[in-house]
Amino acid sequence: MAEVLVLADHAGGRLRKATAELLTLARRLGEPSAVHVGPGADTAQKTYAKYGAHKVYVVDDADAGSYLVAPQAEVLAQLIEKVSPAAVLIPSNAAGKEIAARLAIKSGSGLITDAVDVRAGDDGAPETTQSVFAGSYTVTAKVTTGTPIICVKPNSAAIEASPEAGAVESVDVTISDAAKAAKITDAQPKKATGRPELTEAAIVVSGGRGTGGDFSPVEEFADSLGAAVGASRAAVDAGWYPHSNQVGQTGKQVSPQLYVAAGISGAIQHRAGMQTSKTIVAVNKDEEAPIFELVDFGVVGDLFSVLPQATAEVKKRKG
Amino acid sequence: MDADARREPWRETTDRRKEDEARMNIVVCVKYVPDAQSERTFQESDNTVDRAVDGLLSELDEYAVEEALKIVEAAGEGEVTVVTVGPGAAADALKKALQMGADKGVHVQDEALHGSDAVATSLVLAKAVEKATDGSPELVLTGMSSTDGVMGVVPAMLAERLGLPQVTYASELTVGDGKVTIRRDGDTASETIEASLPALVSVTDQINEPRYPSFKGIMAAKKKPVEAWSLADLGVDAGDVGLDAAWTAVVSFAKRPPREQGQLVTDEGDGGTKLAEFLSAQKFL
């Protein structure tokens, strides 16, 4: 059975959920091999094995993390040469897509990004599903040239354990000087909120213009549900919430089990970032707000009274 | 040579070098996209995006044009060239950029381009950027993604093809001393990233407020040069672009059934409780 390379998304060996999702999906196409670039492979190895990695390729280059995307692209290009995989799966986040883009050119391979599903097609080659035009169309696509390179959005698959050996294989690859041209010279960590990460969260509660800048009811409701907090572009542009929390075309695209939009009108820009959520709930004073066209449940009312009441009720029911 | 320079010969050379450093030539790559407010769809015949609907300069590219203008204005000297690859109507995207203040435009247009994917587009853009800069681009700016394809991969592909470092998703950009420095808002940290010139930088919608073309800008744009290049002009083989050359294929597309509106309640003092009841019934609690 052919190998399927999965690029691990990790920080010093601490894996993000997307990696287990990709390993789960990779099993549909062949035998998954995790690709670990940077330190911390020892810590991550158990997780790779648990989710079905037969092999773990480790490139322990301490420098790799200090440079943008090019080193990972070089590692994957050299692995493609070496093992001729059936496909390469990469998380569809900003960095993942750029790694994939450089890899596609380097290896002469077709690239699909933002897939929400991957499966083996009739001929055994991978076939993907994407949601386009702000979620108004579903597209099925395949790669026709080279090694299929597929970026899969987080939350696209339920993770399933399927233990394999996860045999660590140290690979000697050379990272060129050219790949070390864009250097991260400073990183100021964000204050930890204790909330799950936006793109990985099962539940997202977002606030918009209707908060008037006061996100406390949004945050408290999110915390009662164990949810991530998002914000509309209007709220971010007003300086009420950080850009890294923006949901929409120019922010994050999220696809949680439950999306709650509070005080967000639902402009197309915002819809592009959340329309594929499984269940959508909105609270808005304006009953004409376009967001209500999408909802499974909507409350026409003031978020400053509806959300605190809902928060109290959720806490009560959760005991 | 004047008297001062004769006495201090270093003065003239230093001044000249300073001048060269200050002068910034920037290429901005832009895209003409279907208006997101209109009904966007695919063509039944070949599964490509229907570009017959009204189009415009991709909103996210305006930030790149604005940033280029600001850099050249600050440097006091330089030139902003706007490059687009697209059908005849894409001239509108160039026009908007020229009206904002860009100095000249390049329009790559060729029948064979229809249906090109990101891989082919990046090839054509790379050749156009090289031709527009006599093979030595200094600074290439792009938006963070288009508003139609939204893959966000062309900047990275273009950097790979041009052999340039890519510095992407800039929310602040400084150019000077032969390098670019950006700040970007990552998921876990606010990062500062540096690369020496030449480089490719993509910018987000956080970086600036794009200007509206002034009346003077609109009038001036009419006299600005726009080069029309074909694939042959760029030395690109028509067989390497277009739908048939795409490295990916859309197998099928389907309009998603509109979400059926669910239950809507008006808050009469119990809206929050009802919301919690719904979440409980859906097993979210």
Closest-approach residue (CA) in chain B for A106: B160
State both tokens at A37. 């670039």
Nearest to A140 among B252, B255, B266 (CB): B252
Rounded to an integer, the average pLDDT of A45-60 is 95
Same structural domain for residues A308 and A275? yes
Chains A, B: CB contacts within 8 A come to: 273
For B98, the 3-state DSSP assignment is helix
Domain membership flag for residue A190? no
For B173, the 3-state DSSP assignment is strand
Domain membership flag for residue A253? yes
Same structural domain for residues A208 and A172? no
For A213, the 3-state DSSP assignment is coil
CA-to-CA dists, residue B145 to A143, A170, B229, angstroms: 21, 36, 24
CA distance A285 to chain B (A): 9
- What is the Cα–Cα distance from A230 to B114, expressed in whole angstroms? 38
Percent of chain A as helix, strand, coil, to the nearest 5: 30, 30, 40
State both tokens at B35. 């208006």
Same structural domain for residues A159 and A217? no
Same structural domain for residues A215 and A176? no
Domain membership flag for residue A260? yes
| Among B190, B11, B163, residue whose Cα is nearest residue A182 | B163
* Cα A228 from chain centroid (whole Å): 13
- What is the Cα–Cα distance from A98 to A118, expressed in whole angstroms? 20
Going A113 to A117 to A122 to A123, the CA torsion angle's sign is positive
Same structural domain for residues A141 and A215? no
- What is the Cα–Cα distance from A6 to A96, expressed in whole angstroms? 11
Q: Cα–Cα–Cα angle for B35, B38, B43, nearest 5°?
A: 90
- CA R_g for chain B: 23
Among A60-64, A155-159, A239-243, B148-152, which is the least confidently predicted range?
B148-152
Domain membership flag for residue A256? yes
pLDDT attached to residue B9: 43
Nearest to A310 among B153, B261, B275 (CB): B275
Q: Are A275 and A135 in contact (CB under 8 A)?
A: yes
Residue A271's domain spans which residues? 203-318
Going B156 to B158 to B161 to B164, the CA torsion angle's sign is negative
pLDDT exceeds cutoff 90 at A11: no
| CATH code for the domain in which residue A242 is found | 3.40.50.1220
Tens of each residue's pLDDT in chain B, 285 residues: 344 444 444 444 444 444 455 678 999 999 998 876 666 677 777 777 666 667 899 999 999 999 999 999 999 899 999 999 999 999 999 999 999 999 999 999 999 998 888 999 999 999 999 999 999 999 999 999 887 766 789 999 999 999 999 999 999 999 998 999 999 987 778 899 999 999 999 999 999 999 999 999 999 999 999 999 999 999 999 999 998 889 998 899 998 877 777 899 999 999 999 999 999 999 998
Q: Are B64 and B143 in contact (CB under 8 A)?
A: yes
Task: Tell me which chain A residues have a C-beta less than 8 angstroms from the C-beta of B189.
Answer: 187-190
Domain membership flag for residue A195? no
Task: Using the 3D structure, point to which of A118, A145, A180 is the last residue of a domain.
Answer: A180
Q: What torsion do the CA atoms of B130, B131, B136, B137 make, to the nearest 10 degrees? A: -60
Question: Quick one: B3-245 is in which CATH superfamily?
Answer: HUPs (3.40.50.620)
Same structural domain for residues A158 and A233? no
Helix (H) or strand (E) holding B169: strand B166-170
Same structural domain for residues A16 and A158? yes
pLDDT exceeds cutoff 80 at A287: yes
Chain B interface, best mutation among A177, A221, A313, by max B CB count within 10 A:
A313
Contacts with B, A 28-67, CB within 8 Å: none
Same structural domain for residues A133 and A164? yes
User: Across the interface, do A298 and B271 touch by the CB < 8 Å criterion?
Assistant: no
pLDDT exceeds cutoff 80 at A63: no
Domain membership flag for residue A27? yes
Question: pLDDT tier at A30 (50, 70, 90 boundaries)?
Answer: very high
**Burial code of A145-159, b = ≥16 C-beta within 10 A, e = fewer?**
bbbbbbbbbbbbbeb
B122: contact with A, CB 8 A cutoff: yes
Instruction: Give the total number of structural domains in chain A.
Output: 2
- What is the Cα–Cα distance from A178 to A71, expressed in whole angstroms? 9
Same structural domain for residues A241 and A169? no
Same structural domain for residues A166 and A25? yes
Contacts with B, A 187-246, CB within 8 Å: 187-190, 197-199, 203, 225, 233, 236, 242-244
Within 13 Å, how many C-alpha atoms sit on residue A122's CB side?
3
A298: contact with B, CB 8 A cutoff: yes
Same structural domain for residues A166 and A301? no
The crossing angle, in degrees rounded to 10, of helices A94-107 and B154-162 is 40
Check residue B3 and report its DSSP letter: H
pLDDT exceeds cutoff 80 at A273: yes
| Among A23, A31, A36, A145, residue whose Cα is nearest residue A89 | A23
User: Across the interface, do A133 and B40 touch by the CB < 8 Å criterion?
Assistant: yes
| CATH code for the domain in which residue A19 is found | 3.40.50.620
Q: Which residue has the tokens 């279907």?
A: B34
Residue boundaries of the structural domains of chain B: 3-245
Task: Using the 3D structure, point to which of A146, A180, A214 is the last residue of a domain.
Answer: A180
- What is the Cα–Cα distance from A137 to A114, expressed in whole angstroms? 13
User: Across the interface, do B159 and A144 touch by the CB < 8 Å criterion?
Assistant: no
Nearest to B193 among A68, A104, A299 (CB): A68
Same structural domain for residues A152 and A231? no
User: Across the interface, do B279 and A281 touch by the CB < 8 Å criterion?
Assistant: yes
- Strand pairing of A137-143 and B248-255? antiparallel
User: Across the interface, do A250 and B205 touch by the CB < 8 Å criterion?
Assistant: yes
State both tokens at A188. 């100021």
CA distance A300 to chain B (A): 5
CA distance A54 to chain B (A): 28
Domain membership flag for residue A193? no
Burial of A15 (0-12, 13-18, 19+ CB in 10 A): buried
Domain membership flag for residue A197? no
Please state the φ and ψ torsions of residue A252, each to the nearest 5 degrees: -90, 145
- What is the Cα–Cα distance from A120 to B197, expressed in whole angstroms? 44
| Among B273, B270, B262, B267, residue whose Cα is nearest residue A299 | B267
